[in-house]
């Protein structure tokens, strides 16, 4: 928010507005917007008939509240006091940090300029990655890192070796920690949660080593930057919400298709934890599955693996192969298929935005939703 905006928005012009209007004066998100979001969640909790309906209603309500407040309500009251909140094309196209929830549709569907109220034109950009990062979409050969090797077959050999080492260490390590804890008298649920949490934390430096050998450490750091408040809100909330809805719909369709072809999946969903378990058991399960696991897996598959393949073969080859490897690491065919679909979505978002934050946040939302619906 520039100095002129602050002077005008804090000046006497606000007196022409009532108490309600003044709540929406200022840079996004204003107090009024936050109040509407909170009110929407309370209404959802009141009218919903269960946990699933509450989650779906809340996701939809938050998205709609942010969209209409940012694009219509806040601009209306700010314009009443003579404030233009940076929605002119000449200003927006020079500042890639000016991104709003209203552009989520274009983030997922291209660069359409037709939507009423959409005031930003990204069509002059090479890609959304350029719009987000301010870097050209097509880097020259001199600018690109060659990775661990300039030979394609050597790069694949290194990548697959790293993937196998990481996968084997993950399975053997988690099993060893679980057996040690369980034999020491710790409950099954707590042993599963702690073993998963510890092994992912222990293996995190191994992924950083892979990234370092690949020469992508600086690029990964760039992909984890938040940027402006608006950009962070889109990357951490707006896009992940849309992605989670899409992933949920695809998973439902996938589940029905699997059931019709192969019958009921034979996977075991018993993690030894339920709502009747202790608070510590539940907290550790959520910390492991919904927080630590998404961060580590996204660094591995949408960070290291996708970038390493993309450098040699291009976007879609990288998205598909990183998703295949992501699905295979889940072992079970049914869960692996779901992971493959999620990998396609997360990989595409990673490529389009040039950031790891949306895929990490979306992965967290999905795992949390899966925990609530399946395990607890």
How confident is the model over 111-168, as pLDDT tens digits? 333 333 333 333 344 444 444 444 443 433 333 444 555 677 788 888 899 999 999 9
Same domain, 210 and 349: yes
Q: What residue numbers bound the domain in which 108 lies? A: 3-130
| Domain presence at residue 110 | yes
What is residue 255's predicted lDDT score, i.e. its pLDDT?
86
Residue 140 lies in a domain: no
Weakest-pLDDT range from 137-141, 229-233, 304-308: 137-141
Q: Is 207 helix (H, G, I), strand (E, B) or coil?
A: helix
Assess whether 188 and 95 both reside in one domain: no
Q: What is the mean pLDDT of the chain?
A: 75
Residues 269 and 350 in one domain: yes
User: So what's the pLDDT on residue 100?
Assistant: 40
Q: State how far the Cα of 60 lies from the Cα of 306, in Å rounded to an integer.
A: 30
Number of domains in the chain: 2
Verify that 186 and 125 share a domain, yes or no: no
pLDDT beyond 90 at 109: no
Q: With 70 as the cut, is the pLDDT of residue 106 above it?
A: no
Last residue of a domain, one of 98, 130, 162: 130
Q: Output the pLDDT for position 37.
A: 84
Answer yes or no: do 171 and 272 share one domain: yes
* Assigned token pair, 169: 């260490």
In this prediction, residue 320 has a pLDDT band, given cuts at 50, 70 and 90, of: very high
CA dist 301 and 320 (Å) reads 11
> Taking 90 as the threshold, does the pLDDT of residue 325 lie above it?
yes
Choice among 71-80, 207-216, 307-316 with the minimum mean pLDDT: 71-80
Residue 241 clears pLDDT 80, i.e. is over it:
yes
Which of these, 242, 211, 232, 194, lies nearest to 60 by C-alpha position?
242
Lowest mean pLDDT among 101-105, 199-203, 352-356: 101-105
The reply to whether 166 and 191 lie within a common domain is: yes
Residue 46 shares a structural domain with residue 189: no
Domain boundary (130, 160, 191) is at: 130
Q: Are 126 and 169 in the same domain?
A: no
Range among 32-36, 100-104, 215-219, 288-292 rated most confident: 288-292
Answer yes or no: do 97 and 221 share one domain: no
Task: Report phi then psi at 215, rounded to 5.
Answer: 80, 20
User: Cis link prior to 332 (omega < 30° from 0)?
Assistant: no
Q: What is the dihedral of CA 219, 225, 230, 231, to 10 degrees?
A: 20
Q: Are residue 50 and residue 196 in the same domain, yes or no?
A: no
Q: Give the single-character DSSP code of 48.
A: -
Q: If you search the block for the tokens 């510890």, which residue do you land on?
A: 198
The pLDDT score that the predictor gives to residue 128 is: 41
Interacting residues of 364 by C-beta distance below 8 A, sequence separation 6+? 240, 290, 291, 294, 295
Tell me what pLDDT residue 227 has.
Answer: 80
> How would residue 360 be classed by pLDDT, with cut points 50, 70 and 90?
very high
The pLDDT of residue 78 is 76
């Amino acid at each position: 928010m520039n100095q002129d905006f602050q002077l005008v928005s804090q000046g006497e012009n606000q007196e022409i507005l009532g108490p309600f209007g003044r709540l929406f004066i200022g840079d996004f998100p204003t107090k009024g917007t936050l109040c509407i979001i909170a009110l929407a969640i309370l209404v959802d909790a009141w009218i919903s008939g269960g946990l699933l309906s509450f989650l779906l209603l809340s996701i939809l309500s938050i998205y709609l509240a942010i969209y209409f407040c940012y694009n219509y309500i806040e601009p209306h009251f700010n314009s009443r006091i003579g404030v233009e909140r940076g929605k002119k094309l000449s200003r927006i196209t020079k500042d890639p940090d000016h991104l709003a929830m209203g552009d989520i549709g274009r983030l997922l569907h291209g660069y359409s300029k037709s939507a009423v109220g959409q005031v930003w034109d990204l069509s002059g950009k090479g890609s959304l990655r350029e719009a987000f990062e301010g870097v050209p979409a097509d880097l020259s050969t001199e600018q690109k890192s060659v990775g661990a090797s300039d030979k394609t077959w050597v790069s694949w050999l290194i990548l697959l070796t790293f993937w196998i080492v990481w996968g084997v260490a993950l399975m053997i390590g988690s099993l060893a920690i679980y057996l040690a804890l369980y034999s020491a008298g710790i409950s099954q649920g707590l042993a599963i949660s702690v073993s998963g949490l510890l092994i992912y934390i222990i293996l995190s430096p191994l992924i950083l080593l892979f990234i370092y050998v690949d020469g992508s450490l600086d690029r990964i750091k760039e992909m984890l930057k938040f940027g402006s408040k608006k950009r962070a809100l889109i990357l951490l909330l707006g896009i992940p919400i849309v992605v989670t809805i899409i992933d949920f719909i695809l998973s439902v369709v996938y589940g029905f298709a699997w059931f019709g072809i192969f019958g009921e999946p034979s996977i075991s969903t018993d993690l030894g934890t339920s709502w009747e378990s202790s608070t510590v058991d539940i907290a550790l399960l959520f910390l492991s599955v919904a927080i630590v696991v998404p961060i580590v897996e996204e660094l591995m598959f949408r960070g290291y693996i996708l970038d390493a393949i993309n450098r040699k073969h291009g976007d879609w080859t990288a998205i598909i192969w990183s998703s295949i490897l992501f699905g295979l690491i889940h072992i079970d065919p049914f869960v692996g298929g779901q992971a493959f679909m999620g990998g396609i979505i997360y990989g595409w978002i990673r490529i389009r935005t040039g950031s790891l934050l949306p895929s990490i946040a979306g992965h967290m939302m999905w795992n949390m939703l899966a925990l609530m619906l399946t395990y607890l």
